[in-house]
């Protein structure tokens, strides 16, 4: 799966994609992540990509032409399944959205900045708008990294344990059950006996019950 990320601050994305699962996915050839500097597509001598908003008001607005030139260049090279704009007023990212996107082949991600991007970019090019939460960040780079991470780990072959992603929180609209590892007794704090029993059906039943109880307590909205 290929991700083309368009940003005015490409350096912000160096570290997130250079380590751990995302790094291994790229080395295996299962994910390709390409970051494009929006200023390379600015046509003015100062390489500026923003201007004052029509109608007045505070802040600056990212201009349409650099985004249009970059998107059109990419689309001339390959077909894209989605052009996604990371924005606080988009649909909130959840596991279902990540699952849907994990079966795509080529995706463009647009990172906004300043007061936002010219609405015509959204009207003409964007196919999906995604938010990672009800708060505002300085730009779309961190949300883009979060989205890529959530998607890539679902691609078959990325995780060493193929079933791991299937048991993550939210996959069944439930939070995950408690997990334990060695030692079985730490200063008198013991692992539940059921997990040491070797009785797989009963262990799975216990985990499901614990997941339901944890979801009721912490995220009852998921059970609706």
For the chain, domain boundaries: 2-152, 169-223
Mean pLDDT by runs of 10 across the 224 residues of the chain is 98 96 97 98 94 94 98 98 97 96 98 95 98 96 98 94 63 90 97 97 96 96 88
CATH 3.90.1640.30 fits 2-152, yes or no: no
What's the confidence (pLDDT) of residue 164? Answer: 63
Do the domains at 2-152 and 169-223 have one common CATH topology? Answer: no
Tokens representing residue 10 in the block: 């490409």
Answer whether CATH 1.10.1270.20 is correct for domain 169-223. Answer: yes
Query: Residue 168: what pLDDT?
Result: 66
- The reported pLDDT for the residue numbered 169 is 63
């Amino acid at each position: 799966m290929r991700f083309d990320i368009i940003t005015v601050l490409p350096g912000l994305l160096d570290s997130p994609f250079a380590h751990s699962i995302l790094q291994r996915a790229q080395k295996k050839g299962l994910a390709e992540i390409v970051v494009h500097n929006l200023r390379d597509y600015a046509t003015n001598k100062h390489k500026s990509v923003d201007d004052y908003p029509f109608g007045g008001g505070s802040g600056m607005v990212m201009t349409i032409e650099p985004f249009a030139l970059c998107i059109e260049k990419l689309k001339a090279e390959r077909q894209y399944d989605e052009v996604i704009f990371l924005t606080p007023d988009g649909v909130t990212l959840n596991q279902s959205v990540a699952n849907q996107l994990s079966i795509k082949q080529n995706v463009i991600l647009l990172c906004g900045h300043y007061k936002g991007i010219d609405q015509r970019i959204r009207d003409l090019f964007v196919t999906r708008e995604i938010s990672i939460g009800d708060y505002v960040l300085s730009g779309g780079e961190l949300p883009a990294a979060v989205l890529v991470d959530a998607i890539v780990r679902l691609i078959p072959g990325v995780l060493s344990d193929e079933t791991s992603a299937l048991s993550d929180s939210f996959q069944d609209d439930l939070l995950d059950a408690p997990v334990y590892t060695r030692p079985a007794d730490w200063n008198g704090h013991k692992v539940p006996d059921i997990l040491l029993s070797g009785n797989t059906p009963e262990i799975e039943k216990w985990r499901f019950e614990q997941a339901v109880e944890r979801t009721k307590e912490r995220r009852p909205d998921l059970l609706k």
